Structure formats: structure tokens, C-alpha cells
């Protein structure tokens, strides 16, 4: 698959996650701690989307420096669908439901797919990818720590 198309799909993931967290921030507006957590995560996902958009610009400017990559676009569709389904099925989720779902999607294969895609296509920009991977791991840990602190603990 062309790297530009892959980056576009990955940007869709980050925007979907940003929208999810922004919505959850609004859902929990009466709980300033939970609302603030989800709002910060929304801002971070928007930052990830901008970084991927920057990657797309790099590819457009230097198309010969990027190889095509093997990428399963269905994994993106799966994540976006699961977020849409969660929002439709749970218009007012409990905090436990919101945290559990958020931790699930943070571990979804689509959330982790960008770790190798750009590095394979162009190893020189692998630092950008490592930064995204670290941020994704931090998201899951942040959610887990918050759930534990609020006694919304999952097995």
C-alpha cells in the first residue's frame, strides 16, 4: 500500500480517538478529574494526528524516499467501527465502562500499527514513530492508573 494512504488511515485513527476522548470529557463534565483526563488525552491524540499529517507532507515532498508498505487497512476500519459502536450503544457510559473501553482501544492493533509502518518505509524517520509508540503506552498506563486510583479496577 502507498505510504501516503497508510498515513491518512492512521491519521483517521488518531482523529477518531481524539473525538472519543473529547466526547468522554463532555460526558463526565461533572467529574472534573475524569473530564480533565479525557480532555488531555483528546489533545494528545490531536497532536498525534498532526504528527501523522506532517508525515504525509514529508511523503508528498519526497515520494521517492518512501517505499510502499504492507498494511492491513481493515484493522483501521475495525477500530473506528468499535468506537462508533461504543458511542451508539453507550450514550452515557459509566466511568468504569468508559475507562475499560478506552484501555481496550488503546491496546487495539490499529493503535499500534504506526510503530513499524513509517520505519519500514523510511528508517530515517523512525524517531517520530518511537515517540508515538511511547505516547500510546503512556495512554494505557494513564488510564490504568486513573482507574486504580478511582477504584475502577479491571482484571
The structural domains of the chain, with segments of one domain joined by +, span 3-149
Please indicate whether residue 70 or residue 104 has the higher confidence score (pLDDT): 104
Would the pTM of this model clear 0.85, i.e. be above it? Answer: no
Tell me the C-alpha to C-alpha distance, in Å, between residue 71 and each of 12, 18, 37, 117: 15, 22, 32, 8
Q: Could you read off the pLDDT of 9-32 as tens digits, one per residue? A: 888 989 999 999 999 999 999 999
Domain 3-149 = CATH 1.20.1260: yes
Q: Could you read off the pLDDT of 49-101 as tens digits, one per residue? A: 998 898 888 888 888 877 787 878 888 888 999 999 999 999 999 999 999 99
R_g of the chain, CA atoms, integer Å:
16
Amino acid at each position: 500500500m502507498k505510504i501516503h494512504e497508510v498515513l491518512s488511515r492512521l491519521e483517521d485513527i488518531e482523529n477518531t480517538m481524539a473525538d472519543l476522548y473529547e466526547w468522554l470529557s463532555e460526558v463526565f463534565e461533572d467529574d472534573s478529574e475524569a473530564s480533565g483526563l479525557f480532555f488531555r488525552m483528546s489533545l494528545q491524540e490531536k497532536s498525534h494526528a498532526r504528527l501523522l499529517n506532517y508525515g504525509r507532507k514529508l511523503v508528498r515532498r519526497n515520494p521517492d524516499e518512501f517505499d510502499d508498505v504492507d498494511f492491513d487497512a481493515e484493522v483501521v476500519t475495525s477500530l473506528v467501527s468499535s468506537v462508533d459502536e461504543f458511542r451508539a450503544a453507550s450514550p452515557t457510559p459509566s466511568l468504569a465502562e468508559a475507562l475499560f473501553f478506552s484501555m481496550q482501544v488503546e491496546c487495539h492493533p490499529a493503535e499500534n500499527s504506526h510503530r513499524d509502518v513509517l520505519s519500514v518505509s523510511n528508517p530515517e524517520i523512525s524517531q517520530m514513530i518511537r515517540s508515538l509508540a511511547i505516547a500510546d503506552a503512556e495512554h494505557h498506563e494513564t488510564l490504568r492508573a486513573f482507574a486504580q486510583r478511582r477504584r475502577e479496577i479491571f482484571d
